[in-house]
């Protein structure tokens, strides 16, 4: 690093700090010529990086716009406010958990569950068939998966780095960001397609690809998730599973979210999007009224309440995000085409051919991307 010359006019403390930061960034960028640059430190991007690292490839970096890793996987105080569940048939994700030494456990569903189909009618109670395979959760929260994946290469992840443009200069791909310019032989964009479209590309991408990006729904991009913690799982004492499905009212879905070793007790679920227009305090009160109607006044004895509105997340959703209550068709084959003369590849759960939108889709997409990066015919 350069030394401040005594011949300079006196710097203020703030000016010196800015000068030092600029110098560090300039020097880092001048030497930051990598083989691979991965844009996005969500599950897909981290799986790709993990596979590269495992194969002995160390010449890569990950650029992440947020101040944390994980993307739409986000566990806060033991509550999974992002992606939560996996199924037994999610082969790639299950294999990855085993490889990383992470355990999973069944979603609790024993007892009475409730369907609210008319706010003027008595809720309908029903029993879930516990003989059928259950969804599973990750012990320690879904973020445990993110932390385990990123552990070997923390120094290769650049947080608070918002990518703005990507250009092909013939030999390399230049990635411009708020933290300066990065260059690489190959670039992988793992952002949700709607967000990826907002980047500037030079030369421009094919029109058909832009159209596909615009038309691809961002999974969970319109969801409001809530987590409510208690000193005990009082609903189990009542013989209730904690499952509440609402066709009307404030709750869309609510589930038991007690941890694997039964030491933290919580309910977690999805809020009716119509409540987004309310003030947070009014939304919370309406929500608790709805739960109280099913589980009783004990729901008011909570110890912690938190919510996450993904539609307000700058690095997940867009202004054009629309609600979608049916699972979209993901895996448009146009996303598999190499761009910029074979230097640019798109990845992520929305691009997955199978289980798009789920964690399984993100993992399978990340695995496929790592395999493609290591193919000799593409790695020239």
Can you spell out the DSSP letters for 323-338? ---S------GGGGS-
The pLDDT value recorded for residue 328 is: 80
Per-residue model confidence as pLDDT tens digits over 153-201: 999 999 999 999 999 999 999 999 999 999 999 999 999 999 999 999 9
Domain 104-138+222-312: give its CATH code: 3.90.660.10
Range in 24-28, 62-66, 337-341 with the lowest mean pLDDT: 24-28
pLDDT at 336 over 90: yes
In eight-state DSSP terms, residue 42 is B
The pLDDT value recorded for residue 12 is: 43
| Position 376 confidence tier, pLDDT thresholds 50, 70, 90 | low
Q: Please give the backbone phi and psi of residue 157, each rounded to the nearest 5 degrees, phi first.
A: -105, 125
Percent pLDDT > 90 in the chain is 85
Q: How far apart are CA 356 and CA 360, in angstroms?
A: 8
- Using CA atoms, how far residue 242 sits from 36, 41, 134, 296, in Å, is 45, 33, 15, 12
* Overall average pLDDT of the 1-19 stretch: 36
Locate the domains of the chain by residue range.
13-71+146-218+331-373, 104-138+222-312
pLDDT at 108 over 60: yes
Per-residue model confidence as pLDDT tens digits over 210-245: 999 999 999 999 999 999 999 999 999 999 999 999
Give 126's strand partners.
113
Asked if 205 and 335 count as a contact pair (C-beta separation under 8 A), the reply is no
What architecture is domain 13-71+146-218+331-373?
A: 3-Layer(bba) Sandwich (3.50)
- Using CA atoms, how far residue 283 sits from 80, 226, 228, 251, 287, in Å, is 20, 11, 14, 11, 6
Per-residue model confidence as pLDDT tens digits over 277-315: 999 999 999 999 999 999 999 999 999 999 999 999 999
The pLDDT value recorded for residue 318 is: 85
Percent pLDDT > 70 in the chain is 88
pLDDT at 9 over 70: no
* Overall average pLDDT of the 321-343 stretch: 85
Asked if 372 and 53 count as a contact pair (C-beta separation under 8 A), the reply is no
| Position 380 confidence tier, pLDDT thresholds 50, 70, 90 | low
Provide the token pair at 118: 């008319």
pTM: 0.89
């Amino acid at each position: 690093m350069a030394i401040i010359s005594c011949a300079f006019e006196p710097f203020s403390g703030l000016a010196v700090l800015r000068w030092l930061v600029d110098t560090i960034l300039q020097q880092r960028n001048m030497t930051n010529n990598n083989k691979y640059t991965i844009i996005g430190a969500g599950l897909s991007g981290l799986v790709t990086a993990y596979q590269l690292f495992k194969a002995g490839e160390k010449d890569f970096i990950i650029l992440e716009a947020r101040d944390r890793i994980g993307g739409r996987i986000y566990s806060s105080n033991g509550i999974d406010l992002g992606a939560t569940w996996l199924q037994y048939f999610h082969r790639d994700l299950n294999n990855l958990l085993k490889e990383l030494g992470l355990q999973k456990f069944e979603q609790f569903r024993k007892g009475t569950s409730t369907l609210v189909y008319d706010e003027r009618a008595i809720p309908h109670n029903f029993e879930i068939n516990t003989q059928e395979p259950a969804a599973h959760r990750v012990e320690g929260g879904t973020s445990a998966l993110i932390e385990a994946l990123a552990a070997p290469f923390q120094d290769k992840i650049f947080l608070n780095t918002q990518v703005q443009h990507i250009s092909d200069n013939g030999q390399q791909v230049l990635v411009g960001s708020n933290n300066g310019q990065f260059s690489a032989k190959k670039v992988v964009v793992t952002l949700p397609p709607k967000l990826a479209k907002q980047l500037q590309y030079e030369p421009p991408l094919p029109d058909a690809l832009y159209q596909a990006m615009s038309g691809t729904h961002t999974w969970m991009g319109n969801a409001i998730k809530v987590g409510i913690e208690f000193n005990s799982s009082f609903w189990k004492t009542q013989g209730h599973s904690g499952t509440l499905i609402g066709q009307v009212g404030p709750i869309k879905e609510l589930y038991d979210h007690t941890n694997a070793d039964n030491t933290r007790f919580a309910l977690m679920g999805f809020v009716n999007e119509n409540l987004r227009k309310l003030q947070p305090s009014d939304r919370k009160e309406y929500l608790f009224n709805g739960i109280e109607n099913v589980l009783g006044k004990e729901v008011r004895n909570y110890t912690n309440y938190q919510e996450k509105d993904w539609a307000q997340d700058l690095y997940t959703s867009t202004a054009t995000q629309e609600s979608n209550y049916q699972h979209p068709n993901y895996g448009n084959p146009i996303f598999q085409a190499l761009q910029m003369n074979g230097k640019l590849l798109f990845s992520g759960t929305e691009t997955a051919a199978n289980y798009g939108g789920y964690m399984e889709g993100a993992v399978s997409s990340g695995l496929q991307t790592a395999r493609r990066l290591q193919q000799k015919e593409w790695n020239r």
